A and B are shown apart, each in its own frame.
Chain A
């Protein structure tokens, strides 16, 4: 069969996702996708479609996450779990350099990157937007991160158009979902008995060609798109009806940068600091928080040293430590730094918001601090500079 064109659609029975997994595996990909572990849906190795959490949905709210079975749910009607794509392009810990002292000098060696290509199934609009933001951070500008670049190039991305939102979702207010943006290799839409696959790249086309798909029947593509559009409409209507349980939160983006940067002394910052634990969970689960630090670990003799990179957070004391002490000594200054960077100065730095509305920082905050609520509490006024 000739490869389908980019932008074309094929229809496969649901069970044929197994063939998609097998095809990718035979092409040398490590296939990962949504699986249940320890009460949450995480991204992990996927070999069998029976490992997918079909018929399961997630209840999410501030500081709250539970899974439950839902007889009306399809194969992908849960939303995002604690993990994003971040660990696949920026591992939590990795060695950057190995140093060995010889009698005369130091020998250095750059550890190899495990560059086995990874195919990720089940990514959402917010996830793909987050990846494009990470690309700006690591691949654009004068300093390209070679380790990120290598891992990023070997990713095969299989997206899913959302049909359901959690109460913590607010992608619609940032226009990052619930539909998939460009950037996927294959884009899945779920019907009753079938998946529609939209071909997003040449790599995606080559894989799709081997799935023995058929052409969608008349109206099926429209029907699939309507499910996501109807969700988006429900999310937009939600602020009017005030029912946050069903379809998401709202982040008002009008003049957001100036509202935040013009309100640096607002009393709300000290109020949120009374609740904030500075535990760093929000930044760890955020798909775009990219801060890392570098530590050198040596053996007892000091002759063998490994330079390690690991995720760091602007909520830690260490993050802003200089010889004179931390630049952000208080929880108040750390929370303000995080929120104003994410939503305001990120625009100046990278030409985009750092937030994609996935809601992970709300769900996985142990005390349920909600950034949409914090932004709203700062008010709609743009103070005059």
Chain B
């Protein structure tokens, strides 16, 4: 085992079923990344460097969801190796877009995607890391927000309580004086039920919120979906909107199911 060359806390970054976008967000920190590298020992981060140090690690960041038996075993080993375990991104915190398989026939998907499906070993579900091991903190987003990540690492290094806002994207829109796209344009926007943290980017460009940061605290998407339906929004459009990167987050899933019960859609219609 290679000794850690300093007393700096060690940081390890692990990947599960995911697109790597959250790890790239970390590399995208650029100027702050150098400052972070000064203060923590980057011990394991395959996307950034080939040198790896053995555990245990002070801080573990986990990207991605659990989709195989092997994943389910590996995350337990990683948990044992990390003093503080933090999941990053919608895959790790909610199961990601790949959780659409959870209410579909996985064998159908495999047959359609792979030429030789017999080589594929996978679970029928995509589940968040917290379904498998104790997670100390979840950083939401698809991908995670760079500023939130830097703030989280700062708070970790300073020994502060880890926290991110749990309120809605609407609050961020209003702080910037972005005109509400739902009220002034009639766009079906998930901002009122989605947790802040992105800086309310999409409404600033007259686009609806897609719910990347998952349900806010006390989210009420059933009420919002009913209101949009009364405003002549097609239920299937609303189901698609709710069934994105955080499709398996219970409040979003419940609202999508409510819509489907009122107006049945095929499983294919959801993906």
Contacts and interface: CB of A to CB of B under 8 A. Distances in A.
Contact of B174 (A37, A281, A368): A281
Contact of B182 (A63, A82, A330): A63
Interface string B127-156: 000000000000000000000001101100
Interface string A96-118: 00000000000000000000000
B180 A42 contact: no
Contacts of A93: 175
Contacts of A63: 182-183, 227
Contacts of B224: 277, 366-367
B62 interface: no
A364 B220 contact: no
A39 B203 CA distance: 13
Interface stretch (B12-20, B81-89, B163-171, B256-264): B163-171
Contacts of A66: 184
B145 to A, nearest CB: 14
Given A82-B179, A277-B220, A38 B191 contact: no
A82 B180 contact: yes
Contacts of A277: 168, 192-193, 219-220, 223-224
A317 B171 contact: no
Interface size class of B (residues with CB under 8 A): 35 or more
Contact of A298 (B158, B166, B182, B218): B158
A369 B171 CA distance: 17
Given A276-B220, A330-B218, A281 B180 contact: yes
A283 B221 CA distance: 20
Interface stretch (A15-23, A151-159, A208-216, A308-316): A308-316
B178 interface: yes
A297 interface: yes
Interface in A28-48: 37-40, 42
B33 to A, nearest CB: 11
B36 interface: yes
Interface size class of A (residues with CB under 8 A): 35 or more
Interface in B32-54: 32, 35-36, 39
Interface string B161-203: 0000111101100111111101111100101110000000000
A318 interface: yes
Interface in A273-310: 274-281, 284-285, 297-302, 310
A281 B220 contact: no
Contact of B39 (A274, A278, A300, A330): A300
A245 interface: no
B170 A280 contact: yes
B28 interface: no
Interface in A253-286: 274-281, 284-285
Nearest to B192: A279
B175 A92 contact: yes
B32 A285 contact: no
A259 B185 CA distance: 37
B157 interface: yes
Given A63-B182, A316-B167, A317-B218, A276 B223 contact: yes
A278 B191 CA distance: 12
Contacts of A64: 183, 186
A302 B158 CA distance: 7
B206 interface: yes
Given A40-B184, A63-B227, A331-B218, A279 B179 contact: no
A363 interface: yes
A279 B206 contact: no
Contacts of B185: 39
A284 B184 contact: no
A300 B174 contact: no
Which of A87, A277, A284, A302 has the largest number of chain B CB atoms within 10 A? A277
Interface in B44-74: none
B217 interface: yes
A318 B174 CA distance: 17
A278 B153 CA distance: 29
Nearest to A44: B177
A300 B182 contact: no
Contacts of A280: 167-168, 170-171, 174
A316 B220 contact: no
10 contacts: A65-B180, A281-B180, A300-B157, A311-B171, A313-B171, A316-B167, A317-B167, A366-B170, A366-B224, A367-B224
Given A82-B180, A300-B39, A366-B170, 6 more contacts: A40-B179, A42-B177, A275-B227, A302-B157, A311-B171, A331-B218
Interface of B: 32, 35-36, 39, 150-151, 153-154, 157-158, 165-168, 170-171, 174-180, 182-186, 189, 191-193, 206, 216-220, 223-224, 227
